[in-house]
Amino acid sequence: MDEDALIERLRRYVGTAVPPPVTSGQLAAAEAAIGYALPPLFARLYREVGDGGFGPDRHPLWPLSRVARGGPGWPYGVLEFLDWGCGMSGALDCLSPDAPVLLVGFSDETDPVRADSPSLARWLTDWLDGRAWWEEEVMLADEGEMLPPWPAAAARMAANGREP
């Protein structure tokens, strides 16, 4: 599915019960605050679907202003964008072309960042199709398999706060 079709599918799925989309000015201000451009599809979510307020399994994407604030200790190019609860967050690798989605905050300190999905497009599609790891049927079928560690974690952590 191409990005236009995915955005349209999301618009139909979430309806009008979400905050209105951000303006071009708000998007530019957020990118200036974080110091780099958001991945195109991620930016389109906020410009064309809504300013957060929608997401999987009762865990909505945050408003863009909250995403742009970032947080101390996050690797350069990684933005937290939703709270899964239990100390876990969804994050986006903004420096990779496919914008992989990450799961951050495991109690296992050796691998606190896991690879949730190889791309934002796939993550969104899996959510809409009911095939994502957080779906009960998927969890049961995977027999509790953990998501793999994020391969770029060590390099990004070492470059924390500066461009790698």
- pLDDT tens for the chain, 164 residues: list them: 799 999 999 999 999 889 999 999 999 999 999 999 999 999 999 999 999 999 987 899 999 999 999 776 778 899 999 998 888 889 999 999 999 999 887 555 555 788 889 999 999 999 998 877 655 554 444 545 567 777 777 777 666 655 54
Go through the chain and tell me how many residues it has: 164
- Of 82, 73, 61, 69, residue with least CA distance to 34: 69
Residue extents of the structural domains in the chain: 3-158
Q: Which CATH class is domain 3-158?
A: alpha beta
Quick one: CA torsion of 156, 151, 105, 130, rounded to 10 degrees? 130
∠ Cα 96 97 101 (to 5°) = 60
Q: Looking at residue 53, what is its pLDDT?
A: 95
